[in-house]
Structure 1
Amino acid sequence: MSSIRTLTRRAALVVAAVGAGFVLAACGGGSGDDNGSGHGAHASASASTAGAHNAQDVSFAQGMIPHHRQALEMARLADGRASSAAVKDLAARIEKAQDPEIKTMSGWLKAWGEDVPAAGGGMDGMEHSGSGHAGMPGMMGEADMTELENSSGKAFDTKFLALMVEHHQGAVEMAGVEKDKGRYGPAKTMADDIVTAQNAEIGEMNKLLGKGSGASGQSGSKG
C-alpha cells in the first residue's frame, strides 16, 4: 500500500514539475529580447533588427542630405535659364524626387539623436571648398556653381547636364556604399532607389549630351 502511495506522490511531483516548466517557458517566450524561442521573442528581435542602424547609415544620411541639396540648387537654376524643355523637365523631376528624400533622411537623423546638416552652411560650405570631396563624390565646387548660375540658353543646358551627370554618379557611388555596409532597412531601400533612378537619369542626360556613356565634358551637341 505504501508503495502505491509513493508512486502516486512521484507522479504528482512529475506533473507539477512539467506544469512549472510550461509556465516558465511561457514567461520566457514573452519577455526575451535575446535568443528566446517563443513567437513573442522572435517578433521582438525581428522588429529591433529592422529598426537598427549603424554608423554607415548615419554617414549616408548626413552626406546625402547636402548632396541632394546641391542637386536641388542646380535644378532650381534651370527655371529661367534652360532653353531645352527636356532639361527643364529633368530638373523638375530631380526636385520632386530629392526634396522628399531630404525630409525623410532628416527625420531619421533626428530619431537617432544625430546632427542634421544645416541648410546653406556648415557641411555644404565645407564640401564646396573641396576639403570633403573624397567623402562626397560628385559635389560641385563654387566655381562650377557660379558658372552654371551665370549661364543661360544652350550653354546652360550643356553645363547643367555635364555637371549633373557627375553629381549623379557621385550619389550612385555613395548609395552603393550604403547598400553594402548599411544596416537600416529603409536607408538601404532608399539607396537602392537612388542607384536605379539616378543611373536611368545619367543615361537620359548622356543622350541629351549626344554621348553613349561618360560623365564629364561640355561638348554635347544638344541641350
Structure 2
Amino acid sequence: MRRPPSTVSRLVGRATALVVLVGLSGCSGQTQREAEPLPDPGVTQVQPGAPGEPARELAADARVGTPGWNHDDLAFVQMMVPHHQQALEMAALAQTRASSPDVLGLARRIEAAQGPEIVLMAGWLAEQGVDVPAPGDAPSAWDHAAHGHTGMAGVLTPEQMTELAAADGEDFDRLFLEGMIAHHEGAVEMALDVLSAGRDQRVLELADDVSAGQSAEIVRLQRVLAGL
C-alpha cells in the first residue's frame, strides 16, 4: 500500500518544480546570476569570524564571504541533490519494511534532515541558472567525475536498490544500515572535497553541515547495525 506523501515528499516536490525554471546545462551554462539589488542601507551585516576570532560588522553593501562560485561548488551541489534523493528513497522504504524501531527512527531523522537540504540546493542551482536534478533521474547522469572531480561517492547501484526494496524485516534492516553507512561515508567524502576547493559561502556552509551531521549519524548507524 502506498503511503500518503510526507512533508519531506512535498518539500522535494517543491524543489522539483524549480526544474522548469532552468534551461541551461549543468557544466556549460555557468554564467553568474544578474547583479542583486543593493541591501537596505539601514541594515548592518555581521560576518562570523574564524574559530577563536570575533565577528565583524560590515557596511550594508559589503559582500559577505568569497564572491562567486566555481565548478567545484556546482559539482558538489548537482551531485548531492540526487545523492540526497536516493537517501530519501531508502528512508521511505523503511516505513513499511523495517522491523527495528531504531532503524525506523534513523530513517525518519534522515528524511527530516535531507529533505529540506534538497530544497536549499535546488534553489541555489536555480539562482545560478543551471540545471536542477529531478527525482527519478539516475544519479550517474549527474556524476561530475568526467569533469575532473571526485565522482558521486556512496550511491547504491540500481541492483542494490532493487535488493533493498525486495527485502523485509531483519534482512531489510541490515541492508538498509549497511547501505546507508556507505551512502553517508560517500557524502562526507564529497563534502570534504568541496570544502578544500569550493568558493561559494553558502555551498561551503552546507558542505560543513553535511560533513558534521552525517559523520555523527554514521556512528549511530554503526551502533544499531552492531546490535542487530
| TM superposition score normalised by structure 1 | 0.69
Aligned equivalent of 1:148, options 156, 164, 169: 164
Normalized per residue, the structure richer in helix is 1
Identity %: 44
Q: Secondary structure at the match of 1:183?
A: coil
Runs of at least 4 residues off by over 4 Å: 42-46, 48-51
Alpha-carbon distance in 1 for matches of 2:167, 2:140: 22
Larger Rg: 1
In the alignment, what sits opposite 1:171? 187
Q: Secondary structure at the match of 2:97?
A: coil
In the alignment, what sits opposite 1:38? none
Aligned equivalent of 1:124, options 139, 159, 169: 139
In the alignment, what sits opposite 1:47? 63
Could you tell which deviates more after superposition, 189-198 or 46-55?
46-55
Which structure 2 segments of 5+ residues have no match? 1-57
Aligned equivalent of 1:185, options 191, 201, 220: 201
Contact 1:127–1:139 (CA<8 Å) still a contact in 2?
A: no
Q: Secondary structure at the match of 2:133?
A: coil
Aligned equivalent of 2:97, options 77, 81, 84: 81
In the alignment, what sits opposite 2:82? 66
| Count of aligned residue pairs for this structure pair | 169
Contact 1:52–1:183 (CA<8 Å) still a contact in 2?
A: yes
In the alignment, what sits opposite 1:27? none
**Displacement, 1:53?**
1.4
Aligned equivalent of 1:195, options 211, 214, 219: 211
Alpha-carbon distance in 2 for matches of 1:165, 1:47: 38
**Displacement, 1:126?**
3.6
**What amino acid is the match of 1:70?**
Q
Alpha-carbon distance in 2 for matches of 1:143, 1:171: 20
Aligned equivalent of 2:177, options 161, 181, 190: 161
By relative contact order (CA 8 Å, sep 6+), the higher-ranking structure is: 2
| TM superposition score normalised by structure 2 | 0.68
* RMSD of Structure 2 on Structure 1 (CA): 2.5
**Displacement, 1:118?**
2.4
**What amino acid is the match of 1:124?**
P
**Displacement, 1:52?**
2.0
